A and B are shown apart, each in its own frame.
Chain A
Amino acid sequence: MLWTALVTMISDMTALTLLAEVSGGASDSWFWIVLTGAATNIACALVGCFLVLRRMSMMGDALSHAVLPGLVVAFLFSGSLNIVPLFLGAVVVGLLTTFLMQTLHQYARVPSDASMGVVFTSMFALGVVLIKKFVSGHFDLACVYEGSLELVVLAETVVGLPRPLFTTLVVLVVNLLVLILLWKELKITSFDPALATTMGISATGMHYLLMALVAVTSVASFEAVGSILVVAMLIVPAATAHLLSDRLAVMVPISAAVGVLASVLGYVAARHWDTRIAGMMTVAAGVLFALTVFFSPRYGICSTVVSNLRMSLRVLREDLLAMLYRVEELDRAKRLTPAEAREAIGGGWLSRWSVAALRREGRVIMDGPQLQLTDIGRESARRMVRSHRLWETYLVEHLGMPLDHVHEPAHRVEHFIDEQMAQELKANVDSSKQDPHGRAIPE
């Protein structure tokens, strides 16, 4: 299935290319820019998902800086900005960096984040010095930081595609192939390296492979987006997808989609305000992430707040019902006014809302100025009080807790005891029909 996806994707790309050629002229520069941005984003998101899951997001930052001396040396040896030696240099230095970080952490007991910081900043400094010393004039250091997606259309073309786009596509295909071929291995080493090792899959090998991919991907993205913004493309869409899904097979496509969306939105915004495209793509990705943080259906802050609120409302309503039941139990003639009831469960707008909701649900009616349980209301209140007293009895009988300590836990847990558990509790406590305080346990 994944193969079909790959083939579809490549043919889509070809179709888009043809489309661009048909439409022709300079007016379609937007097309190449967005396509390059999107391809970079997808390539980054594919490996980024694993970085996020393995909690080594900062490796993206580290590697994209650390490869600098590798690029310079490769350039010095090959004498050109040909992409193949640059990739080679990046992979070698990327693996070396990974190795150094691990060695520092393992053998010299440098904390893992400090060893990362030590290695990549030193490598970067080395790169800066090498550039100044040997190749000043060929490398624009500012480009390392910012990238210039705008210039994509001015680059020479390879097989009909602008060079940066071509490079990125090659890396995208490589990443996709590795992901498809080693899907199972990458997945298991990300989630449970110890299990992977016992199954004969080399967790270390996968780690180095992933780091090599990150190094290559960041180098391919340098020209277009620069070394810091590539960190955004690696991590932000992946982290967004992580907030939206619990399944890796879903997370990867979502992150790719978020990346594409960020490129399109970023391009539009950049054109609108006439600013840097790569920077705007990053900001767009950040905005998408922020939106997800708030509105993700399962892990968003809003849904957490809403479900917490819903839970407290349910607890309040049930507490109110149980209290009305107890009042009735003590003195058949006594009733509470809504104000008294609200006061008893803590007051405030939540309790006001609870009383109103109970009346709306028909569990409580107004009997003159006072609240009166309906039959349905009394039934659910009875169940609540029953759970409460069963739990108290259980705590005293089986855990030997003192009498004055059992009310509080029972008050908390009564909302979560369903009928089946109540039955089990009933079967486990002595058949006496009274709770430890001497009150009857309702049937």
Chain B
Amino acid sequence: MSPQLCLETLILGTLWIDTLSLTQKVMIGTALLGGMAGVVGSFAVLRGRSLVGDMLAHAALPGVCLAFLILGSRNLLELSLGALISGLLAIGIVAMLVRWTRTKQDAAIGIVLSTFFGLGVVLLSVIQKPHIGGNKAGLDSYLFGEPANMLSSDLVFLAAVATVVLLVVAVFFKEFKLACFDADFAQSQGWPTLLLDMAMMSALAVVTIVGLPIVGVVLMAAMIILPASTARCWTNRLHIMLLLAAGFGVAAGVLGTRLGRGLPAGATIVLTAAAFFVVSLLFAPQRGLLAKVIAELQLRKRIASEHLLRALYELNEPSLPQRVPVPIQQIQESRHWRSLPKLLAAEVESGLIERTGGNVLLTSLGMRRAVELTRAHRLWEMYLMQHAGIAADHVDRDADDVEHLLPAALLLELEQQLAATGRLPETITEVPDSPHELGGGPGASP
């Protein structure tokens, strides 16, 4: 883009902004803020620095007050510069405390946060004095946030900051990613990790401080953490997480402003973001709680079904290769079942067994599955006994635990290993004999 075109776009943009209503301006502003907070917040959350945003937001207060006292202006840019300086100073002090003293990170953050804020409160009261000439009206918004104060110039400022921050992240994406996930490796490869770290922290500081007058101190900390944590539920890939976090941030800004008419906008934006988080936490496909519960239930069901098939095989074993009907009573006694009738019904459904009166008969499909399972179980038992030195009366339980999780490749390997040492019984190609006494019902003998 030529400079002239740039300028024209900018002028047109500014003109366009002036035509917007206040609500629209607020909505665009909060959306911009949410978007960039999501992006820089992702890095903070991944690096275990979620609370740094909280600290920055509080530590900015004395900087804002000093900027006001020294420069005497209420200009957003100048106040933000003061906030940025005191925020970066706070980060530096925390880093030095952690490096040079026995004070730990959490305490250092708490100390710097509260002491800086205390200093800010003191300076605020100085500003309020009549001869200094201020009511602190403009400054109060730094505590609680006042989106409705948004001017067109603020919007342009926000857009400019967002562009710069996003450009920085885009340009240094690879470096940030490496520093995020494996800082030691990055250092060993000669990356300037300290510099990268400082760049990430500065981006976080800039976004936090730009957002302060809009959503306020505590709620700005939320905007850093919430969209990023929400995005983390959905993906394991950084670039997708950044996009999602930006998306959630924008959505929270827009919806929060729209839904929260008459309520403090900062709070409703955060509550919207929190709602996104809760929904994602419950319903995300892999990391969601619901998905986990379903997976757990399915695993339980599979294990129960496999136990049933193996029990049936063992009860059938004396009369092999003939499949015989087994009385339910005998199955019942062979091991502890959670709910046998339900389990039997499910297996009938999937065509693995047939029920005839009080008896259960393995279908030929069921028999094949049962043979596979029992073979895996016994191979594993043998492996445990011979290679892991576990006593014969302990292997059954251990084998029960893992047989359901064994991949086919490992089974093959075990089989070959045992065959190579001549321990795989050749006579029974399908199923090796159980290496221990079979327990269970009265009719069950090895």
Contact = CB atoms under 8 A, between A and B. Distances in A.
Interface of A: 52, 55-58, 60-61, 65, 104, 107-111, 113-118, 121-122, 124-126, 128-129, 132-133, 141-142, 145-146, 226, 228-229, 231-232, 234-236, 238-239, 242-243, 270, 273-276, 278-283, 285-286, 289, 293, 299-301, 304
7 contacts: A55-B106, A117-B225, A232-B118, A239-B103, A242-B107, A282-B114, A286-B114
A420 to B, nearest CB: 31
A235 to B, nearest CB: 4
B219 A117 contact: no
Interface of B: 45, 48-51, 53-54, 58, 97, 100-107, 109-111, 113-115, 117-122, 124-126, 129, 140, 143-144, 217-219, 221-222, 224-226, 228-229, 232-233, 260, 263-264, 266-268, 270-271, 274, 277, 281, 287, 289, 292
B264 A145 contact: no
Contacts of A286: 111, 114-115, 118-119
A118 B226 contact: yes
Contact of A275 (B48, B106, B126): B126
What are the 10 closest A-B residue pairs judged by CB atoms, nearest first?
A282-B118, A286-B115, A121-B222, A232-B114, A279-B121, A125-B270, A122-B274, A117-B225, A128-B267, A57-B110
Contacts of A279: 118-122, 125
Please report whether the interface of chain A is mostly helix, strand, loop or mixed according to DSSP: helix
A108 B118 contact: no
A117 B111 CA distance: 17
B15 to A, nearest CB: 35
Given A57-B110, A301-B100, A125 B271 contact: yes
Nearest to B221: A121
Given A132-B263, A286-B119, 14 more contacts: A55-B105, A108-B233, A121-B222, A122-B271, A122-B277, A124-B222, A129-B264, A129-B267, A132-B267, A232-B118, A235-B114, A279-B119, A285-B115, A301-B100
A57 B106 contact: yes
Contact of A142 (B104, B143, B224): B143
Given A107-B289, A243-B103, A128 B264 contact: yes
Contacts of A125: 218-219, 222, 266-268, 270-271, 274
Given A52-B107, A114-B45, A301-B100, A129 B122 contact: no
Contacts of B109: 57-58
Contacts, number: 206
A113 B50 contact: yes
B122 A276 contact: yes
A283 B226 contact: no
Contacts of B287: 108-109
Given A114-B50, A118-B225, A239-B103, A282 B281 contact: no
Contacts of B218: 65, 121, 124-125
A269 B231 CA distance: 47
B229 A232 contact: no
A236 B271 contact: no
Contacts of A115: 229
Contact of B106 (A58, A65, A122): A58
B323 to A, nearest CB: 44
A116 B281 contact: no
B121 A113 contact: no
Given A61-B113, A108-B289, A243-B101, A114 B225 contact: yes
A236 B115 contact: yes
A283 B115 contact: yes
A293 B219 CA distance: 32
A280 B122 contact: yes
B274 A129 contact: no
B264 A56 contact: no
Which residue among A133, A236, A238 has the maximum number of chain B CB atoms within 10 Å of its CB? A236
A270 B287 CA distance: 52
B229 A231 contact: no
Contacts of B48: 111, 113
Contacts of A57: 104, 106-107, 109-111
Contact of B122 (A242, A283, A304): A283
